[in-house]
Structure 1
């Protein structure tokens, strides 16, 4: 059976009611370039967060978060209810001045990263954290599970 609907070529300019406007295309190009200068070359989610590995050790979990270049004092671990928040903040400033104390170069950078994790099965009171060579390591013991099996008597 053949489809009898008319075929519409989207590239056919006769179907397009608006005239070609090179300024609109340049405006769109500029907007896209300055909002996203590298296009899809990079995984933007990688820039927005840090990578973690979580290992189940049987009676505990080990979380390792890659946070290279941060000072230990700039990493904050907060537990609120059953949620762990890892927040890291980096501030860097570099100045170079000439002999007249005028700036030749002055650069600043700032980065803030934050992720949250569910702790509903973790004994948060006994967690331990270390930070070494750019890796944050959390040892998180599991909660002791109550004996869920029980017998119900029939009356």
Structure 2
């Protein structure tokens, strides 16, 4: 059980100064930015996947299904320019965010997948595939 708990070494001695500086410097960067959060629940005849994508517009989100893999991609670009009377920049800011996450949808009826996006939450209904029971037939003996 103790192996499941997060552990962070907190020894601040002289020999760990560089390690602590490096860890704190890269901690604030976007290098280890986690993928968007999702919740998946079993609703009987379907699975409901809810993905948190705040700040994205519906047009920024793409859903692709290929070879039993559902891929959710979201990309947002924003530019803000302020210029003075001469056309020189006073302030210019850019933001860019991109997330991609894939899910194995084996056992899902791919043609019945529906999606809705509202208030930063993408909701996908993933209907379970009805298992095909092979037919048995009796062969008459002549």
TM range (shorter): 0.7 to 0.9
Name structure 2 gaps, 5 residues minimum.
1-16, 137-142
Q: Quick one: structure 1 residues 145 and 73, their matched pair in 2 at CA, closer, same or farther if it must change by over 3 Å? A: same
Q: Quick one: structure 1 residues 66 and 104, their matched pair in 2 at CA, closer, same or farther if it must change by over 3 Å? A: same
1:114 is the counterpart of 2:104: no
Name the counterpart of 1:139. Answer: 125
Quote the Cα distance in structure 2 between the aligned partners of 1:34 and 1:108: 25
Name the counterpart of 1:36. Answer: 26
TM-score normalized with structure 2 length: 0.73
Residue 102 of structure 1 deviates from its aligned partner by 1.0
1:73 is paired with a residue whose SS is helix
Name the counterpart of 2:4. Answer: none
Name the counterpart of 1:17. Answer: none
1:36 is paired with a residue whose SS is helix
Task: Say which one has the larger Rg.
Answer: 1
Residue 147 of structure 1 deviates from its aligned partner by 3.8
Q: Where do residues 85-104 of structure 1 align in structure 2 (5 Å cutoff)?
A: 85-104=71-90
Of 59, 72, 78, the match for 1:73: 59
TM-score normalized with structure 1 length: 0.67
Quote the Cα distance in structure 2 between the aligned partners of 1:100 and 1:112: 34
